[in-house]
Chain A
Amino acid sequence: MAFLELNAVTKDFGGLRANDHVSFSLEKGELVGLIGPNGAGKTTLFNCISGLHPITSGRIFFDGEEITTMKAYDVARRGMARTFQVYVASGDLTVEENVMVGCFMHTRSRTKAREKARDILKELKLHTLSESRVKELPVAAQKRVIMATALGTKPKLLLLDEVAAGLNPSEIEEIMTSIRHVHDDLGVTVMLIEHVMELVMKVSARVIVLDYGKLIADGSPEQVSRDRRVIKAYLGERFAAELAPEIQDNGTRMNTDERG
């Protein structure tokens, strides 16, 4: 079985269907991007996977176990970490203390937590800021603190939610380096939601696209960027017709439900 497997995951909010029979699987060690226009259901999907929202139907498997009905803290303890767009663990605490909150998942001792936190901060080159209060830091640094905190939980799978939002090009480069480091050197499987296309396309080996809750494309960045459905989702039918006049049939994996 795959490392992370989603089987027809559907999430309804009353009358609104935020995720519609989404199925895909991830192997260990992959670096996958999750994109789609605003409101496509990406963050909701993360919430479902990480256990924050109960799903309406479908099944989710992680590392050999079914986690469909598991609560968020249980899922986290099994090695899945998830970051949030804007929030750190606690704005009032210092950078080091924030990362410690993550480290406390695996230890009761504050000395050990502090040690581990310091190691992580050094890995991500944040150790110079360790005593600063997070809410006083610039956004780019906060984003890296968010990642560092998640790393404290020793994740096998890291779900990053718009970690590059609001960053300028050089900051995006920094974050990209950090992500690559986490994936390549620390061996963490990564899935990231992004709107900043250059980041996603450069960093991911594979990209999944959501639109109106449905999975509409799943392939390499090159394939996906030329997929007619993806272009239509972002730019509308007219441009899709212009830029990709033929129906794509170049090996892009389709959501099986769509074919029927």
Chain B
Amino acid sequence: MEAIKNAVDFSDFPRLDLIIAGTLAALFLAFPLFPHSSFAMSTMIQFLMFSIYGMGWNTIGGYGGQVDLGKAQYVGIGAYTTAVMLIRWDIPFWVSMPIGVCFSVIWSFIIGYPLFRLKGHYFAIATIATSLVLKDIFEVWDFVGAARGLGISPIKYQPPDFLRLIFKEDAYYYYVILGFFFLGILYLNWFRKSRLGFQLRCIKDNEDIARSLGINAHWAKIKTYAIATGFVSVVGSFHACYVKNIEPEDTMSLDISILIALMAMLGGAGSLWGPVIGAGILIPLKSYLKEWLGAAAGLVGIDLILYGIIIMVISAFEPRGIWGIVERVRRRRKR
């Protein structure tokens, strides 16, 4: 079908990019076969998860230009749907995950309609507000375990359980998330050249023109927001099965929302590789900072201090992200 052909059509990228991407893809596939520490493995899984979060964010935040700082609520919806369905009714991941996506998308339409009347800062803060509201609700809702959260005990199941996504070895989780990662990239590759993708970019550059060209800007943004939501919800569901212990504070906090936005911004919002690059730098950085510094005697929070400084430096001096630098250098070389 035309859609699949378009999804795998990377021909508009320079050869060098494709070679690098291909090599990395091969390395990713082979990674578990090389000797690695469990720390490295969990970092890799986190990297892939956040790449996908970032890719989802990138649709509405990068291509669409609307900075969304409330994605964490969908992580929560996805995670909790899967967790609750598994614990209470023994429903496998592959059923609960799509259901989670449905819930997330429905919610995104409900708040999206009023939300997209806002722009810029006002929009961003409103997204934070909705995310915090949801988090507060989850923190007192006994059905989902309130502030204590929910725990999935692997003993009840026979790992490796492919239906419920319960495994003893991380390598299984790794391949599952890697699969989602590749699917995500293919989808985004299709998206950025699709009708909606083009319309979004026009909306971002000049909304009046978009409207004069027959584009219903409000609706286009809502649709894209729903797509971003879907991405995040899928990984949220995965998160529940991987981490097996979820609570509102670490799944739905503002910090997570900001982290997601940061991935894309650092790597280059509005580009296909941006979020992956961003995640590739930030996640290992965060993990290793925590490992080395966080554990150092009495220096609580110093990893986050450094983290904050890094964010500040990037925002002030290279706000278009790493991909922005790459493109700028390339353009200069052309002349």
Contacts and interface: CB of A to CB of B under 8 A. Distances in A.
Contacts of B194: 110
Interface string A56-85: 000000000000000111001100011110
A77 B215 CA distance: 9
Contacts of A152: 213
Contacts of A87: 205-206, 208-209
Contact of B214 (A77, A92, A100, A108): A77
Interface in B1-30: 2, 6
Contacts of B215: 73, 101, 105
Contacts of A153: 213-214
A92 B205 contact: yes
B210 interface: yes
Contact of A52 (B204, B212, B216): B212
A89 B206 contact: yes
Nearest to A105: B214
B202 A90 contact: yes
A185 B45 CA distance: 60
A113 B201 contact: no
B198 interface: yes
A90 B208 CA distance: 12
A149 B205 CA distance: 15
A84 B198 contact: no
A109 interface: yes
B212 A101 contact: no
Q: Considering residues A82, A88, A89, A105, which has the most beta carbons from chain B within 10 angstroms of its beta carbon?
A: A89
Contact of B211 (A76, A88, A93, A111): A76
Q: Considering residues A50, A52, A73, A108, which has the most beta carbons from chain B within 10 angstroms of its beta carbon?
A: A73
A212 interface: no
B188 to A, nearest CB: 15
B217 A73 contact: yes
B117 interface: no
B195 A104 contact: yes
Given A87-B206, A89-B205, A101 B217 contact: no
A90 B207 CA distance: 10
B190 to A, nearest CB: 10
A84 B2 contact: no
Contacts of B199: 101, 104
Given A73-B217, A110-B6, A101 B198 contact: yes
Interface residues on B, range: 20 to 34
B193 interface: yes
B198 A93 contact: yes
A51 to B, nearest CB: 8
A244 to B, nearest CB: 38
A71 B195 contact: no
B208 A84 contact: yes
Nearest to B197: A110
A91 interface: yes
Contacts of A83: 212
A102 interface: yes
A22 B105 CA distance: 46
Interface in A99-144: 100-102, 104-105, 108-111, 113
Contacts of B193: 110
A113 B29 CA distance: 37
A97 interface: yes
A100 B205 contact: no
A71 B211 contact: yes
Contact of B209 (A84, A97, A105): A84
Nearest to A84: B209
A149 B198 CA distance: 13
Contacts of B206: 84, 87, 89-90
A89 B214 contact: no
Interface in B169-217: 193-195, 198-199, 201-202, 204-206, 208-217
A111 B2 contact: yes
B212 A81 contact: yes
Contacts of A88: 209
A34 to B, nearest CB: 17
Nearest to B201: A90
13 contacts: A73-B211, A73-B214, A82-B212, A87-B206, A89-B202, A89-B213, A102-B213, A104-B199, A108-B195, A110-B193, A113-B195, A149-B213, A153-B213
Interface of B: 2, 6, 193-195, 198-199, 201-202, 204-206, 208-217
Q: Which 7 A-B pairs have the closest CB atoms?
A: A76-B214, A105-B214, A72-B211, A90-B205, A89-B202, A82-B212, A104-B195
